[in-house]
A and B are shown apart, each in its own frame.
Chain A
Amino acid sequence: MPSPDVTDAHLRHLATLSRLTLTDAETPGLRESLAAIIAYVDRLRDLDLAGVQPMTRPGDEPAPLADDVPNAAISVDTLRAIAPAMHGDYIAVPKVLGDGGGA
């Protein structure tokens, strides 16, 4: 698929997918710089990559599974202390059911 023009609509779409509110002031600069970067990375299309296997990470060691045993854990009090808002023993968020949905 060819590169899209980075229109305001495409930037808004990316911002929604990224869960980012963008201000009107920052939108033009982001749009222009993204267009320049995407034009730059498009040079990869010039390469003949037929038959090349993708490389996801370096190294040949398998990623091991951890043993299923309990470890020392971070305490509830500690987690409570770094949470931005609590409601009793629960982390508070706006309601997600009914008219609060959409997340």
Chain B
Amino acid sequence: MTESARVIAADVTARRRSAVEIARATLAAIDTRNPTLNAFVETFSERTLAAAEIIDRRIAAGESLPLAGVPVALKDNLCLGPDLSTPGDGLGFGGRTTCASRILEHYRSPYTATAVQRLIDAGAVIVGKTNLDEFGMGSSTERSIFGPTRNPHDPTRVAGGSSGGSAAAVAAGLVPLALGSDTGGSIRQPASHCGVVGLKPTYGRVSRFGLVAYASSLDQIGPLAANVADAALALDVLVAHDPLDATSSTRVAPRWGTELNSPAAPRRVGIPRQARGPGVHPGVAATLERALERFRAVGAAIVEIDLPLTDHAIAAYYIIATAEASSNLARFDGVRYGRRAALAEGESLLDLYCRSRGEGFGDEVKRRILLGTHVLSAGYYDAYYATAQKVRRRVHDDYARAFMDCGVILSPAAPAPAFRLGEKTADPLAMYLEDVFTVGVNLAGLPAAVVPAGVVQAGGASLPVGVQLIAPAFEETRLLAAAATLEQALAA
């Protein structure tokens, strides 16, 4: 059972427990469990304990810190400087940020991501970096130079991805809170597969400064947590306008953490016709119906909505995401930082680019760069990229139309529970279809949360299944109230 971040912060604030003893226990638990799970790719034992000591001193001096002493794990595509404790400008020089890629295997971040710095400033104690699919490109956390992360509920199965290390770390009770990033479902699908809460905020809510870019019109940072209120507390800390990210919203954020004490049940919950279609695992379908029943029991009306482009959205997503990736990943060229190939006498700068990238990127990253290059290349741009952007508009408009009839939408997070390690690695397209219920949210820029909603028997294992709630842009208040309502109704 994962301990609540709010309980830890309250205990440290009241000095019932020290941040140091919590950090020590966290590091010991990681040492015990990580050899099996492979959720963490790096931990910072001495620096973590030093940071925890500083938190204890600040609390003793009377400071009030919303995340006092809360151990936090970071997906390893978030930059972290050397100092894990000091509020400040984030400049420095420190821990590795590998993106689980050979090309950044020894890269050390010269600065700290804004989202990470905000957690540190709020009293969080960073304990380590978590595993991911290389550059966030995958749905299973198997495509990592560090090897696959294993699902805590069944180590023969995947944790989901790409934020699989963060999801597994929270699910195994190693940390109460972790950060992930979500480009097409990378927070929500692993949250569902591991049985934790995963929150993808509205596009623009959380600064991406210091998040290694995959697809810039889709990427968003968010928390994975043991419960909805902890995710809301993390969001409170994470959200603020950041001039260092041009897409960072200037909208004033409510205090979500304090609004969840008695959440208002949604009046109308929309269920997409497509969520009940063929291809959804019977256990996932039953979990979805049970969640609908709970909403009905607290007085919500259930309305069927239509998201007719659910299947087309995934095609549009893989065109847009790979096009943006082919551009974003052009920066990794072996020149200024990262891996450089050893050249033979007489080899050129072009050889340096091509060989550094050829040796440094894994199969899936190469596939997506090549696909992105194809859809952007002369003669194909209109047929693919421009078409996908029009489909994106239609997907966005379909959601807007649906929200005229309901306050929140309920859908599966993934079509089936966690699959076996190796089951889909040979078939990239099958892996892409894992994202069928999540990519539309990124295309439209909406906030969405996954809440654990049941346990399914599959292949002799008991596997958690989450359901996804979706709200209109910047309606995290409504989203979190619906998520907390469902969480409470399922626990009753």
**Which residues on the A side are within 8 Å of B366 (C-beta)?**
18, 20, 22, 26, 30
Residues on B lying within 8 angstroms of A by beta carbon are 89, 91, 93, 107-108, 110-111, 203-204, 216-217, 243, 246-247, 249-251, 309, 311-312, 315-316, 318-319, 326, 330, 333-340, 343, 347-355, 357-359, 361, 363, 366-367, 369-371, 373-375, 377, 379-380, 383-384, 386-394, 396, 428-429, 432, 443-446, 473
Q: How far is the CA of A64 from the CA of B243 in the complex (A)?
A: 9
Q: How far is the CA of A29 from the CA of B326 in the complex (A)?
A: 19
Partner of B312, one of A26, A47, A57: A47
Contact B243 A20 (CB under 8 A): no
**Which residues on the B side are within 8 Å of A9 (C-beta)?**
none
Contact A56 B389 (CB under 8 A): yes
Contact B390 A61 (CB under 8 A): no
**Which residues on the B side are within 8 Å of A84 (C-beta)?**
334-335, 337-340
Q: Select the residue from A64, A79, A103 with max chain B CB neighbours within 10 A.
A: A103
Residues on A lying within 8 angstroms of B by beta carbon are 1, 3, 11, 14-15, 17-23, 26, 29-30, 33-34, 36-38, 40-45, 47, 49, 52-59, 61, 63-64, 66, 72, 74, 78-79, 81-85, 91, 93-96, 100-103
**Which residues on the B side are within 8 Å of A83 (C-beta)?**
336-337
Q: Beyond the given A58-B217, A74-B91, could you list 16 further A-B residue pairs with CB under 8 A, ordered by the A residue number?
A: A22-B358, A34-B371, A40-B318, A40-B432, A44-B387, A47-B309, A47-B312, A55-B393, A55-B396, A59-B204, A59-B445, A84-B337, A93-B335, A93-B352, A94-B352, A100-B349
Q: Select the residue from A26, A52, A91 with max chain B CB neighbours within 10 A.
A: A52
Q: Select the residue from B318, B361, B388, B389 with max chain A CB neighbours within 10 A.
A: B389
**19 A-B contacts, Cβ less than 8 Å apart?**
A14-B370, A14-B374, A15-B354, A17-B373, A26-B363, A29-B363, A30-B366, A44-B315, A54-B390, A58-B396, A58-B473, A59-B204, A59-B249, A64-B243, A96-B349, A100-B348, A100-B349, A102-B349, A103-B352
Contact B390 A52 (CB under 8 A): yes
Q: How far is the CA of A40 from the CA of B330 in the complex (A)?
A: 26
Partner of B315, one of A11, A40, A54: A40
Partner of A63, one of B246, B343, B432, B443: B246
**Which residues on the A side are within 8 Å of B319 (C-beta)?**
41, 44
Q: Select the residue from A17, A19, A45 with max chain B CB neighbours within 10 A.
A: A19
Contact A20 B361 (CB under 8 A): yes
Contact B334 A34 (CB under 8 A): no
